[in-house]
Amino acid sequence: MSRIKEFNLPDLGEGLTEGEILAWLVKVGDTIELNQPIVEVETAKAAVEIPAKWAGQVRAIFHPEGTTVEVGTPIIAIDTDPGAGPLDGPSTTAAPSGDLPTPSAASLAAVEVAPAEGMVEPGLIGGPAPGGRTAVLVGYGPRTTTAKRRPRKNAAPAPAPAPAPVDHGAVVGDKATVTPTIPAPQVHDRRDGANGGGAGPAVAGGVVLAKPPVRKLAKDLGVDLRALSGSGPLGSITREDVQQAARGAVAVAEPVAATSTATSAASFGADREQRIPVKGVRKLTAENMSRSAFTAPHVTEFLTVDVTRAMKALERLRSRREWRDVRVSPLLLVAKAVLLAVKRHPMVNSTWAGDEIVVKEYVNLGIAAATERGLIVPNVKDAGLLSLRELADALNDLVQTAKSGRTSPADMSGGTLTITNVGVFGVDTGTPILPPGESAILAFGAVREMPWVHKGKVKARQVTTLGLSFDHRIIDGELGSKFLRDIGDFLADPEAALLAWT
């Protein structure tokens, strides 16, 4: 039995088939422990850390950061018994941080993929599973395919692969970028080294030698690595080479730009455009919103509410000894209002299923959250069963987890009703689009001090505007209006609503 094992990208659940490697948390030569996080991967749902399946020493990393890898593809090789002495034949040696090593033919031949080790009981990792799939670290569904790069516009076609073994360890090529003054470099295929050429240092296939941090710097500065002559080891390009090239390009570009401005009209071409790849969370959000907007007939209603009493109730709540260590925001009262209104109008918490409507007896309350990777909607499971204090704790945990980018796919699945708090951006309200599978979403606007008629006199009161979008196949105007009215009544006088409804 081989002591070197390949670790495949596991199925992260929810039918996901691929993930982008965001960051390696280990490097070649590191000694790792069982279940130690080794890599951070971004899927269409979230960014997650994947733990090691074995303890041992890292022998090879097959895919660099930024690579999109399909489920079931080997991503790292681990020596599970490094104390047993050197392997037969040349071994893979550790490379400096940032470089990925090239495994030798002997070491690759000794590598054994974990699921192929003998017979494993059904349901265990590496064993058979229903439907002919294979159980992996999380869920099922690995594919025996190789990693792929997302296609980019104007990318040159890669040459046909040679029959020689694939080099899993090299980091080659660079990404396309556009800046106002420096021409965009051509896109290279990281695997095959296509579109070699240029004056820069190259290996077989015309591939530029540069570490990932240097490539990122070149991308940020708009420098074409292929046009540089490297001063580093083996002719590799260093940070100083890139910075010097950028300084020279700016010096040359400035007089040219001045002359161009004086003699011709402004340019509106690609040199003044930025192209952002659509992937991960942003891609999934776009697909879901498009599908929902053109599938469910949306209706949106609005209600402006005097929430002065609700804001005073929050202040009294914060002053209580048992609540002093809890972050209490207006969103907490809005969430409570929604949960109480659902109990009075359960049809709102339902799903259109073609020939039937599925009414949920549980409320998984979603909270839309803007993150660096895009919009996500994690949800509080069975929120209707929580006390006000438990609901406050759950909302705080949900928000903090989302901000740190650690929301798991499970936290974003199974939502039944959603709140989007657009008020945090200073917006009065909106016409939100329904998350797929839900029949209602509430937009909570900013709370502002405004003139309001109160007890026959115009006074300064705290006011907000609510916007409720709903699926008109399930919720008619009467039901939607009553549901929104109940939410407004609770926010106008929380104490009275609690006494009347509970």
Per-range mean pLDDT, top range of 143-147, 204-208, 261-265, 433-437: 433-437
The answer to whether residue 411 scores a pLDDT higher than 50 is yes
CA-atom Rg of the chain in angstroms: 28
Give per-residue pLDDT as tens, 104-133: 544 444 444 444 433 444 444 444 444 444
* pLDDT score for 219: 83
Least confident span in 18-32, 93-107, 281-295: 93-107
In the numeric block, which tokens belong to residue 362? Answer: 């549980």
For the chain, what percentages of helix, strand and coil (3-state, to nearest 5) are there? 30, 20, 45
In 25-167 the beta strands, taken as DSSP E runs, fall at 31-32, 37-42, 47-51, 56-61, 68-70, 74-79, 112-113
pLDDT attached to residue 301: 96
Q: Is the pLDDT of residue 254 over 70?
A: no
**Helix ranges (DSSP H) in 357-441:** 388-403
Please check the confidence at residue 142 and state whether its pLDDT lies above 70. Answer: no
pLDDT for 206 equals 56
Residue 289, helix vs strand vs coil: helix
What gap in Å lies between CA 259 and CA 235, rounded to an integer? Answer: 36
Q: Per-residue pLDDT for 387 more than 50?
A: yes
Distance CA 80, CA 316 (A): 59
Residue that the structure tokens 């009493």 belong to: 309
Share of the chain above pLDDT 70, in %: 71
Task: Extract the tokens encoding 449.
Answer: 């001090």
Please report, for the chain, how many H helices and E strands are present, in that order: 9, 22
Q: pLDDT tens-digit profile of 428-443?
A: 999 999 998 899 999 9
Q: Would you state the pLDDT for residue 483?
A: 97
Q: Sheet containing 112-113: which strands, arranged edge to edge?
A: 31-32, 56-61, 74-79, 4-8, 112-113
Q: What pLDDT sits at residue 44?
A: 65
Report the mean per-residue pLDDT for the chain.
77
pLDDT reading at 218 higher than 80: yes
Residue 266 confidence (pLDDT) = 67
- The answer to whether residues 479 and 345 touch, using CB atoms and an 8 Å cutoff, is yes
Distance from C-alpha of 287 to C-alpha of 431, rounded to nearest angstrom = 18
**Confidence band, pLDDT 50/70/90 cuts, at residue 24:** very high
pLDDT in tens, 278-324: 777 677 777 877 877 778 889 999 999 999 999 999 999 999 988 98
Residue 221 has a pLDDT of: 83
Residue 189 has a pLDDT of 41
pLDDT-derived band at 210, boundaries 50, 70, 90: confident
Q: Which residues are catalytic?
A: 472
d(Cα 20, Cα 72) in Å, to the nearest integer? Answer: 13
pLDDT band at 177 (very low <50, low <70, confident <90, very high): very low
> For residue 400, is pLDDT > 60?
yes
Stretch among 61-65, 342-346, 484-488 having the lowest mean pLDDT: 61-65
Q: What is the pLDDT of residue 122?
A: 43
User: What are the helix (H) ranges across 172-303?
Assistant: 212-221, 239-263, 280-293
For the purposes of burial, counting CB atoms within 10 Å of the CB of 359, is it exposed (0-12), middle (13-18) or buried (19 or more)?
middle
Inter-CA distances, 367 with 129, 130, 136, 415, Å: 34, 34, 31, 9
Yes or no: say if 401 and 424 are a contact pair by the CB < 8 Å rule. Answer: no
Top-confidence residue, 296 or 499: 499
16 pLDDT above the threshold of 90: no
**pLDDT confidence of 95, banded at 50, 70, 90?**
very low
The beta-strand segments (E) located in 387-456 are: 417-420, 440-444, 448-454
CA triplet 412, 416, 417: central angle to 5 degrees?
100
Give the integer Cα–Cα distance in Å for 494 and 340.
Answer: 11
Asked if the model's pLDDT at residue 427 lies above 60, the reply is yes
Contacts of 196 (CB under 8 A, 6+ apart): 202, 205, 206, 207, 226
Task: Determine what percent of the chain is predicted with pLDDT higher than 90.
Answer: 37
* 30, 74, 425, 458 from 415: Cα distances, Å: 40, 33, 24, 41
- Kindly report which listed range (22-36, 194-208, 237-251, 435-449) carries the lowest average pLDDT score: 194-208
- Determine contact, residues 7/76, Cβ cutoff 8 Å: yes
Confidence of residue 187 (pLDDT cuts 50, 70, 90): very low
Q: 339 pLDDT exceeds 60?
A: yes
Give the pLDDT score at 124. 42
Distances (CA, A) of 257 to 181, 184, 246, 254, 268: 8, 16, 16, 5, 14
